[in-house]
Structure 1
């Protein structure tokens, strides 16, 4: 009987300790940031973008430097505001990756950058939709 009580206490303590770990970040832990604060690399070195449609999985590529610069100009002043709800979620509309040569240097989703969830910004969504429409399809 003592072993039963001992094992029950151990199980309860273990359950309590594991429940207290891994709490998601709160929006109080992160501050609003500009795109240029999230991506701390040199934007002038970005020479390729890829964008994947989350609905279809289709991947498109942009290598035209003028289009890349134009898109980055729109993005550089976007302010990313943390979502008060930092609980993990799934699904995304678009996924953009920035490259320097063949090296992927940064990636973002409209509402998730570096593992932090942000409120969806209509300017970001519109720019990603336009980027996807004008990009070349991957073969």
Structure 2
């Protein structure tokens, strides 16, 4: 009788482990790289070669396109080396206030919001948020 209990316990343990594995949350993507970055590092190539910026007011859906080379260069120079620290909480979020897309010619090179770049969420960064808000206010001609 004791010999029959061992296979039964082994079978139960095996089923328990299978159950635990099946209950894991495999739907959440795991970001590959959770190291601090700058926008210049996230940009494929030289960020200062951006020749068009599209801005989206996430509150209203209103957009603006910036093509003035001096305005683009000045703003990107001010933000490109701001260090972004990955947020420990990488769970998805909904909505945003400021959406930014950087283009070279017709090619979208980098799209981001102040707390998310390339599907990785970053801690709130007051310096970046202040510069983004100021740029939006200048381009939209109103307070945000």
Deviation at 1:15, TM superposition (A): 8.8
Deviation at 1:40, TM superposition (A): 2.9
Q: Which runs of 5+ in 1 are unaligned?
A: 1-9
Q: Which residue of 2 aligns with 1:127?
A: 131
Secondary structure at the counterpart of residue 55 of structure 2: strand
Number of residue equivalences: 126
Match of 1:17 among 3, 17, 22: 22
Given that residues 95 and 107 in structure 1 are in contact (C-alpha distance below 8 angstroms), is that contact kept between their aligned partners in structure 2?
yes
- Name segments (4+ residues, structure 1) moved above 4 Å: 13-16
Q: Which residue of 2 aligns with 1:54?
A: 58
Structure holding more strand per residue: 1
In 2, Cα distance between the equivalents of 1:66 and 1:14?
60
130 and 16 in structure 1: CA distance in 2 versus 1, 3 angstrom threshold? same
Q: Which structure exhibits the higher relative contact order, with contacts defined as CA atoms closer than 8 Å and separated by 6 or more residues?
A: 1
Secondary structure at the counterpart of residue 92 of structure 2: coil
1:46-70 Cα deviation digits (max 9, x unpaired):
1000111111111111111001001
Deviation at 1:135, TM superposition (A): 1.9
TM-score (norm 2): 0.76
14 and 75 in structure 1: CA distance in 2 versus 1, 3 angstrom threshold? same
In 2, Cα distance between the equivalents of 1:115 and 1:136?
26
Secondary structure at the counterpart of residue 135 of structure 1: helix
Q: Which runs of 5+ in 2 are unaligned?
A: 1-14
Q: Which has the larger radius of gyration?
A: 2
In 2, Cα distance between the equivalents of 1:69 and 1:43?
9
Given that residues 61 and 136 in structure 1 are in contact (C-alpha distance below 8 angstroms), is that contact kept between their aligned partners in structure 2?
no
